[in-house]
Chain A
């Protein structure tokens, strides 16, 4: 294919704000999610999870349970269908998918049995009645940076585990200003609104799965490999998805057990996870501890940059939350080192969660930059401008483009940054101390090979077939816009078919690469289709279909540093006498290439920023050392931002279409969260004079830290005019 100049042509469909094509179906309930599709003879499964953190299953007494009303089968390691040993999935070896294959219990909340019954309620009651006996072993869930089991992995999902340029010790020693601090982020969970759900059945020799999946092709391939089936005999469909955030693409307990059970009982079987089950079965973001060492000249120019991060993984497999990848292309320094380490513990396996690595990494590094700016007496934006790289600091590669400072300048203008008094702890409104903060955001802009088919129908409409996933972000609508634009027809004449592994290979919804990768394939097919249509032949009844495969084109790209950028701004109010922190407003200015649909793009960006707010102030899964279980593994205990926490949040964008992409897209799926927590933490410092290096910035931590130049917590404040006017009006 050729790199089309899709950025200038078309009907203007790209760039127009459009509501979702399936919006009406969703709000009227007509759209069915995976757990809602009806099937005749449907049976229901319920997963039994281990209640111990380490050991072996000694015995499972399924006799009494099999006599309970409606119970059809009880599966466990002693009788479950055998899976491929040493299974290698789409993202490498994946023992997490090897469910009910052995008696080993690697963590609390591991599936040890599966009960199938006529109704969901019967399955649940039987599952809860099933007696499982364990031989327990001492467990270790205590994550800390200096854990003796810590090691440095060979690689991380986002690139090398370690990068090094220059002599760090020499540059640190020669630096006039030093920052050397440790930051930490807690275990966080992406508990999507729609729980994981799968229905599996055998239909005329084919295995059909209706799953909530960010990538049905990957899911189908993995299930086929796991059950040692011909890939062509497995079909996975996922029409509507209520959020995934990295947790919904793999073979996991819900879909594996549904397939096992339908194979055993010969009827369709559905599995829907509960909220509590999601807290141990779907993956999560590892806690991190990070050390950042920065050495700078008095003018702020970095001589030394060292970002060292530690995360945890399970004893089953290695997942690296690569928090130190964030700064690899962001700031230059004479010596530039980054490293990620992991500690295996008796915990569920962590996984990709929105902006894996970048979200926690940006909190640490962008906090440290703010500390350096304070020490240098520099404006935080000016500090970043003085360290803007001209080529990749680690790779030496040229940039596709780099709009970081432009984002800061535009954000500063709109946020009113120029009027900011840099001194911390000097602005008071009633019981609230007020502060503002900023932080950088960046995320890799990538594309992955995909196939697509576009058909010119005889009725003058067009059908786009691509195995994309619409996880709720509006991908279906965006693809219709891209196709309409490229075809130079109104969007209404384009229908889009997605979410079905039979549509063929396509990248999944992940890595902020979905819309870009799919659009590239759609553009490639349309470019050729238009050439064929230009010949003027009549369209036969079956239409004219052109297929594309972007493998070659993407492989032929020149090596460059390709990233999206952003600048986050936040204003906070802090009551140091109660520890309450309220975010008053947020502004994010992003440069992410061409924005296909401003309506859904803004929603996705502000959604990410709100998640960042939640990360800064609320989200924290607390693991109980004694049991290895979460002490707050439900949505009552695991707090995320409520509406009342979310103030005026504004997202906007600048910049040009990405030069290296046929449509000009860079991807916006994850950058919204990046840097948002740091901007808020920096604003809390500006308000109070106290640095918070551990998230979330909870009231007890604010109270414990007190305030800098202001009266410490516990001091008796003076009598003052009170009342609702200065009180919390969002009770």
Chain B
């Protein structure tokens, strides 16, 4: 493990200045992913800039009825916040479905967005991996990949993004705010994670040296009727093999608005816009839900060992939208 420098930032500007343009420096949030990667040699930073004590730990309701969440809010605090639970219940459920209580107490919102894939070839520096060492090849395509991507992958990388939280954020059109030495900026989550293509090592649209300062959730009344369901290989403390965030507004059997995002299927949280289009204005029936999932999953390109994700996501779509239909129609009666 390489010896590294450590500095605690006093404020956002200071943090950004400390990191500067040093490619060997990293921001340290909760450290729940970065420190592991440092131990295994995947990350070898010369300097850690600790941003966890920055005054970015607030959650507030915006004037228009959305939410603004600071980057250093812990996953635990995010999940427990009454306004998150009330306005975006799927977000609370997604965060609580992730990791363990101890990790959620440490992990930050900003760090969660930037966590790296858990592909076993990425985390083992002795193996080829285009994400870790560009041009070295992808060992997963013809190797162990039963939990790899079925959507949006490329010949260069089939890794998935591991975050549960980001799946709910994708459904709710979160906007990521950041700070650079040149001033602040923001990016919609939909554009935050870059397409894989032939540059899987380039993961986000953040400018070099940028520090995530928070995110904004626009107001979305439909989100009050939302749920998150995660399937994993044990009952807790495992990454998803398939997950879904869904919000649904149904009146008189007709879908008025729907939000749908899938997890563990792509290098990014996968907003299921084709499914949403297929559903909106149509009947809220299991048949329609299945057809919508099929519309979304028509683009799937499974590898030899992960084809099960197609029926899994299809079944999850039907199950969760059916539950939401029952709940919202029941509430309306």
Contact = CB atoms under 8 A, between A and B. Distances in A.
A719 B326 contact: yes
Interface string B286-313: 1101100000000000000110100110
B315 A719 contact: no
Contact of B2 (A125, A274, A704, A714): A125
Contacts of A716: 286-287, 289-290, 318
Nearest to A730: B235
Contacts of A81: none
A643 interface: yes
Given A642-B237, A703-B308, A731-B236, A632 B144 contact: yes
B322 A631 contact: no
Most chain A C-beta atoms within 10 Å of own C-beta, residue among B36, B96, B139, B306: B139
Given A713-B311, A719-B326, A720-B326, A579 B144 contact: no
Contact of B139 (A125, A627, A637, A727): A627
B286 A723 contact: no
Contacts of B241: 699-700
Interface stretch (A12-20, A461-469, A521-529, A616-624): A616-624
B323 interface: yes
A128 B312 contact: no
B210 to A, nearest CB: 28
Contacts of B163: none
Nearest to B306: A700
Interface in A103-139: 121, 124-125, 128
B16 interface: no
A728 B228 CA distance: 12
B308 A720 contact: no
Contacts of A731: 93, 96-97, 230, 235-236
Contact of B1 (A128, A577, A700): A128
Contacts of A722: 319, 322-324, 326-327
Contacts of A643: 236
A626 interface: yes
B49 interface: no
Contacts, number: 144
B160 interface: no
A723 B308 contact: no
A723 B287 contact: no
A636 interface: yes
Interface string A334-364: 0000000000000000000000000000000
A643 B241 CA distance: 19
Contacts of A714: 311, 314-315
A578 interface: yes
Contacts of A617: 234
Contact of B238 (A622, A639, A717, A728): A639
Given A720-B326, A721-B326, A704 B120 contact: no
A639 B118 CA distance: 13
A699 B231 contact: yes
A640 B236 CA distance: 11
Interface string A242-276: 00000000000000000000000000000000101
A30 interface: no
A644 B322 contact: no
A629 B318 CA distance: 39
Contacts of B127: 624, 627, 629
Contact of B319 (A431, A618, A630, A700): A431
A704 B319 CA distance: 18
A630 B233 CA distance: 18
A636 B236 CA distance: 12
Contacts of A274: 39
Given A624-B144, A713-B311, A719 B325 contact: yes
Given A577-B315, A642-B236, A719 B286 contact: yes
A74 to B, nearest CB: 18
A642 B120 contact: no
A719 B285 contact: yes
A384 interface: no
Contacts of B1: 121, 124-125, 128
A579 B318 contact: no
A698 interface: yes
Contacts of B326: 719-723
Nearest to A721: B326
Interface residues of B, number: 55
B63 interface: no
Interface string B147-178: 00000000000000000000000000000000
Interface string B229-264: 111111111100110000000000000000000000
Contacts of B219: none
Interface in A672-731: 698-700, 703-704, 713-714, 716-723, 727-728, 730-731
Interface residues of A, number: 54
B85 interface: no
Contacts of B3: 121, 125
Interface string B1-29: 11100000000000000000000000000
A698 B306 CA distance: 12
Residue of B118, B234, B285 with most chain A CB atoms under a 10 A cut-off: B234
Interface string B87-127: 00000010011000000000000000000001011011011
A615 to B, nearest CB: 13
B294 to A, nearest CB: 10
Contacts of A629: 124, 126-127
A727 B320 CA distance: 10
A1 interface: no
Given A578-B315, A723-B327, A700 B308 contact: yes
B116 to A, nearest CB: 12
B143 A625 contact: yes
Nearest to A50: B126
A645 interface: yes
B20 to A, nearest CB: 25
Contact of B318 (A627, A703, A717, A730): A717
A649 interface: no
A98 interface: no
B231 A624 contact: no
Given A644-B234, A723-B323, A631 B120 contact: yes
Interface string A622-665: 10111101111110110111111100000000000000000000
B41 interface: yes
A45 to B, nearest CB: 15
Contacts of A634: 123
A582 interface: yes
B142 interface: yes
Contacts of B289: 716
A51 interface: yes
A140 B143 CA distance: 15
Contacts of B93: 731
Interface in B8-60: 36, 39-41
B146 interface: yes
Contacts of A582: 235
B196 interface: no
A700 B237 contact: no
Given A578-B315, A579-B312, A731-B230, A717 B286 contact: yes
Contacts of B238: 639, 642
A401 B123 CA distance: 52
20 contacts: A124-B1, A578-B315, A579-B308, A617-B234, A624-B143, A625-B143, A627-B139, A629-B124, A631-B120, A634-B123, A639-B233, A644-B235, A700-B308, A703-B312, A714-B311, A716-B287, A717-B322, A727-B323, A731-B230, A731-B236
Interface of A: 51, 121, 124-125, 128, 274, 276, 431, 577-580, 582, 617-618, 622, 624-627, 629-634, 636-637, 639-645, 698-700, 703-704, 713-714, 716-723, 727-728, 730-731
Given A700-B306, A716-B286, 9 more contacts: A578-B312, A578-B316, A627-B139, A631-B121, A637-B118, A640-B234, A720-B326, A722-B324, A722-B327
